[in-house]
Amino acid sequence: MQNSILDCCALRIEYVVALRAFGGGSMFGDVAGDGPAVVLALHGWGRRGTDFAASLQGFAYIALDLPGFGASPAPDRPQSAVGYAEMVAPVLEEMGVRPILVGHSFGGRVAVVLAARHPEKVGGLILTGVPLIRRPRLQGASSVFRVLRWGHKIGLISKARMERFRRRYGSADYRAATGVMRQTLVAAVNESYEDELRSIKAPVHLIWGEADTEVPVRVAVEAAALLKGAGVEVTIEVVPGVGHWLPTEAPTALQHAVEAMLSNP
């Protein structure tokens, strides 16, 4: 019995996840597995690299805390997905291999830009719940907010009152964000990635939750059409009964997707 317990503990110790600094301390990330990392995982807005702990178990990987999340300090100024991609790009250099990029939601935006701008450094992409193509806004809400913003600009609405309006009309992510991260979120939600999708060279696997209401499956279908039109090898997988948080809701499905892409370089 004692040997069984020791064996179990030894197996757990073999797969240690360590927090490591990247980019001269500008970012931190979980590192696990034996040998060079073959997967670089980028999490969604308001999340952190630990979201991938279950889905990447068994692989050598790096799961970053993107700047402003988890253990990583916020950037010194607002950034778009392009800015985040350039901050992450040196990590690709440190890895020494062409990894698979696994991107969820906001992290998928960054992964797409990385793959488009640094095709020689990326071996493949697995994307889930990523707002790749901008959805039209609800005209009523956006019109009201524009009027309120104009009133604030000319001094009719105080800063404190404007903040209350922002909290009322903004998304949960917007309400939770402050300072540079709020400005970064605004920049990100106004972006669309058609040009980047057409520039990707690596194979792409889109794995989506069937019940994702934040980024519906139709976004993946539209993105796949753009990728195919550009000659990119692309596949779509829809996971029944799963919503937007696929890395934590259905880690086994994501694990199988990573395994399949690694076995077909």
pLDDT tens figures, 108-138: 999 999 999 999 999 999 999 999 998 655 3
pLDDT of residue 171: 61
pLDDT of residue 165: 56
**Could you report the per-residue pLDDT of 148-158, keeping only the tens digit for each?**
566 656 776 77
Q: Which domains does the chain have, with CATH numbers?
A: 17-134+192-263 (3.40.50.1820), 139-184 (no CATH)
Model pTM above 0.85: no
- On average, the pLDDT of the chain sits at 86
Length of the chain measured in residues: 265
Q: ∠ CA 206-88-124 to the nearest 5 degrees?
A: 30
**Could you report the per-residue pLDDT of 178-228, keeping only the tens digit for each?**
688 888 888 888 899 999 999 999 999 999 999 999 999 999 999 999 999
Any residues with CB less than 8 A from the CB of 70 and at least 6 apart, and which?
28, 47, 48, 49, 50
Which residues pair with residue 235 across a beta bridge? Answer: 205
Strands 39-42 and 100-104, by their bridges, are parallel
